[in-house]
Amino acid sequence: MIRVLFFARIREQLDCASMELEWSDAVRHTEGVRAALIAQGDARWEAALLEDNIICAVNQQVVTAEIELSDGDEVAFFPPVTGG
Amino acid sequence: MIRVLFFARIREQLDCASMELEWSDAVRHTEGVRAALIAQGDARWEAALLEDNIICAVNQQVVTAEIELSDGDEVAFFPPVTGG
Amino acid sequence: MANLAVSVQEHDFDPGQLQEALLAGASEEGAVATFTGYVRVNNDDRGVSRMMMEHYPGMTEKSIESTLNEATQRWPLIAASVVHRIGELTPGERIVWVGVSSRHRGASFSACEYIMDYLKTNAPFWKKEIGPDGEHWVEARDTDTDRARRWAASE
Amino acid sequence: MANLAVSVQEHDFDPGQLQEALLAGASEEGAVATFTGYVRVNNDDRGVSRMMMEHYPGMTEKSIESTLNEATQRWPLIAASVVHRIGELTPGERIVWVGVSSRHRGASFSACEYIMDYLKTNAPFWKKEIGPDGEHWVEARDTDTDRARRWAASE
């Protein structure tokens, strides 16, 4: 299973804070997760998840290239951060 | 009259915090004041006032070149500062 | 080893008390640099009546801890601490506090600014401003990214 | 016009209260940077049991005011304040506090460091350390002069 989290503007656009994807070959890497999320949603999902500056984190670490996942990993998508 | 002040190590070396020099042509500029002070003191005065890194201030502003004085001016000699 | 602390919290904090806590247990420091960030009353000419600060629980703390660890690699620090608020905030309220202690001031100043620059660009917080014209998510500023990049260039 | 304040005093100060005072009357700030200097317990490997801070009354205040004015020319500051102690001080005690407020953090950080660097090299204070081996005047550090020169080079 892959746990997927969404934050801030992305969370509001998708009206979804978190969901779970069953573990399968299709979600063995981050781009697979993105594709699976787009496939299961409507046009809002495609627009939100293909945004240029969307950030992806795996197990709470930002990743800048596609990486391999393991069953149980946590994947998050969020806009550029604006704290401080 | 020129009021002369000494601070910190220089004050201790000279055992003098302040003195007054009568206004005269001899003390119309900062180097004249320095010469007058050396002339009226012993070897300690010459050693202290000719030190390389001694700082001179006129009316509470540091001066880095010889400048002209007026009757009533305040001249100070002190070592490099070490506050903060 | 430098003393490091991170707190992500809803409640307000007291900069004076945080500075005292930063010094607790150490005696070699000559310098403490701090930064406090406040909710501006008039952010970019839009009236802001309140703000919601969202975060990614768990990752936030890890990200700040990692920034503090990197700071201790770069400078000889005695202690460093970050407090960041979440939830609802109103104009004039404190949002973030960074405090750094060291023997000499150069390390404290540089590390404090470094920590703020990395926190701004790396820690997963998101501000939503709520004003008379409705609510909107604050956009990331290029100047923040540029500030953080300076440190990479000077590595 | 920025709000500027200078105090040269024998008594201790409270960094938290000074930060509150810095903010009093203004509402536009987003950033406050502060610096606190302490008497180090073990300065350059000599034990220090106490310290006497001498100054040049009148010139000290003028020199710090002039540094604050220069800082407001360089950066868009809302307020800046310096407190510096004189007289007898013991290890661990606070010596100096600098606080700067501005809308954005870059100006506060830079101005706070600039003020400390100029205060260190220009304000007429002199430290005498008194320890088990007797007393001696602290020598000026070349690194302080170098730090102050950086600002001239970036003018």
- Per-residue pLDDT for A77 more than 60? yes
Q: How far is CA D28 from CA B7, C37, D25, D77, D149, in A?
A: 42, 12, 10, 11, 32
pLDDT at D154: 66
- C-beta atoms of D30 and C37 within 8 A: yes
Q: Report H helices in C75-141.
A: 105-122
**What is the per-residue pLDDT across A6-58, written as a single tens digit (0 to 9) for each?**
999 999 999 999 999 999 999 999 999 999 999 999 999 999 999 989 999 99
Most confident of C18-27, C43-52, D105-114, D125-134: D105-114
Q: Is D85 on the interface with B (CB under 8 A)?
A: no
- Per-residue pLDDT for D43 more than 80? no
Strands A74-78 and A2-6: parallel
CA C28-D127-D137 angle, to 5 degrees, is 105
| Biggest distance spanned by C-alpha atoms of chain D | 52
Q: Is D28 exposed, middle or buried (0-12, 13-18, 19+ CB in 10 A)?
A: middle
pLDDT at D42: 66
Q: Is there contact between A and B if contact means ≥3 C-beta pairs under 8 Å? A: no
Which tokens in the block code for residue B3?
Answer: 């009021």
Dist CA D150 CA D155 (whole Å): 9
Q: Is C87 left (phi over 0), alpha (psi -120 to 50) or beta?
A: left
Which tokens in the block code for residue C78?
Answer: 């005695």
pLDDT at D25: 72
State the residue for tokens 């004039």. Answer: C92
Q: Give residues with Cβ within 8 angstroms of B57, minimum separation 6.
A: B63, B75, B76, B78, D56, D59, D124
- Name residue D91's amino acid: P
D26 compared with C23, residue with greater pLDDT: C23
pLDDT at C153: 73
Lowest mean pLDDT among C146-155, D57-66, D75-84: C146-155
| pLDDT tens digits in sequence order for chain C, 155 residues long | 789 999 999 999 999 999 999 998 777 879 999 999 999 876 556 667 899 999 999 999 999 999 999 999 999 999 999 999 999 999 999 999 999 999 999 999 999 999 999 999 999 999 999 988 899 999 998 888 888 888 887 65
Yes or no: say if C33 and C105 are a contact pair by the CB < 8 Å rule.
yes
Output the average pLDDT for chain B.
96
pLDDT at D60: 98
- Per-residue pLDDT for D27 more than 80? no
Residues on chain D bordering chain C, Cβ-to-Cβ distance under 8 angstroms: 14-17, 19, 27-43, 91-92, 103, 105-106, 108-109, 112-113, 116, 143, 147
| A73: confidence class by pLDDT, cuts 50, 70, 90 | very high
Output the average pLDDT for chain D.
92
Dist CA B13 CA A59 (whole Å): 67
**What is the per-residue pLDDT across B38-73, written as a single tens digit (0 to 9) for each?**
999 999 999 999 998 999 999 999 999 999 999 999
Dist CA D86 CA D11 (whole Å): 8
Edge-to-edge strands, sheet with A74-78:
A18-21, A2-6, A74-78, A55-58, A61-63
- C-beta atoms of D128 and B8 within 8 A: yes
Q: Is D126 helix (H, G, I), strand (E, B) or coil?
A: strand
Question: Which among B78, B80, B74, B79 is positioned nearest to B4, based on CA atoms?
Answer: B74
The CA distance from A82 to the nearest CA of chain C, in Å, is 5
**Using the 8-state DSSP alphabet, how is residue B74 labeled?**
E
How many contacts does C have with D, using Cβ atoms within 8 A? 93
Chain A neighbours among C 5-64 (CB < 8 Å)? 37, 53-56, 58-59, 62-63
Closest residue on chain C to D98 (Cα): C33
Full-model pTM: 0.94
Percent of chain D with pLDDT over 90: 75
pLDDT at C46: 62
